[in-house]
Chain A
Amino acid sequence: NAGVTQTPKFRILKIGQSMTLQCTQDMNHNYMYWYRQDPGMGLKLIYYSVGAGITDKGEVPNGYNVSRSTTEDFPLRLELAAPSQTSVYFCASSFAPYNEQFFGPGTRLTVL
């Protein structure tokens, strides 16, 4: 099992550009999450999904969008990138709520 994979690992964007962060898990988990980690801070939830076709906002959803067309994939879309979106983004999945979440390696994004 590869677990949770994320691409790319690093990316530099210019203000106003858009991009999609990819997240895939091969554990057949229904629950998937996107978090961001700002320097010296804990993780904050951006969006989450409880199954294919079902997504909802977390604590900091502004500037982002998600989709969940399959159980395996949960891409995060950034539209009109802003410097405030400079962060490390983590995707996670779990078999059920309250179970441990398995995290991907993260994507380090810089917006200049």
Chain B
Amino acid sequence: AQKVTQAQTEISVVEKEDVTLDCVYETRDTTYYLFWYKQPPSGELVFLIRRNSFDEQNEISGRYSWNFQKSTSSFNFTITASQVVDSAVYFCALSESLAGGTSYGKLTFGQGTILTVHP
């Protein structure tokens, strides 16, 4: 069975600090996808990034960066110079494994990390 663990339940930082959100996953398959979603206080879910299991390159998008390490089954998310608008719940998710060549895109979510950025 697949599993996603976000061990940090809540993180509190002061504006302009860097912050890293951890994500550890478990899967038996070699082909899979990992996602990060943001849920601001308004409640909607916003897609941030998708990474496939064959691409271990780190990615940077503005103040956001992601570090994917298959050796440790981790897909960590770093926000540089955090801002108050970054305050949200962040979810890491794993797509269902590709079994028998068939996939339906079902996601397994971690429990989320609540990030609070204070001015």
Binding site for B on A (CB under 8 A): 31, 33, 35, 40-45, 48, 50, 56, 58, 88, 90, 92, 94, 96-103, 105-106
Instruction: Provide the bound-state CA to CA distance between A14 and B38, in Å.
Output: 32
Q: What residues on A are CB-neighbors of B107 within 8 Å?
A: 33, 35, 43, 45, 101
- Count of interface residues, chain B, beta-carbon cutoff 8 Å: 24
Which single residue of chain A is at the shortest CB-CB distance from B49? A100
Inter-chain contact A101/B44, CB cutoff 8 Å: no
Q: Hey, which chain A residues are within 8 Å of B91, CB to CB? A: 42-43
Please report whether the interface of chain A is mostly helix, strand, loop or mixed according to DSSP: strand
What CA separation (Å) do A103 and B40 show in the bound complex? 13
**Residues in B neighbouring A56, C-beta threshold 8 A:** 104
Q: Mark B92-107, 1 if CB is under 8 A from A, else 0.
A: 0101000000011111
The interface residues of chain A lying within 8 Å CB-to-CB of B104 are 31, 48, 50, 56, 97
Interface segment, one of B14-22, B72-80, B109-117: B109-117
Residues of B with C-beta under 8 A to A97: 95, 103-105
Given the interface pairs A43-B91, A48-B104, the reply to whether A98 lies near B52 with Cβ below 8 Å is yes
Residues A106 and B103 in contact, CB atoms below 8 Å apart: no
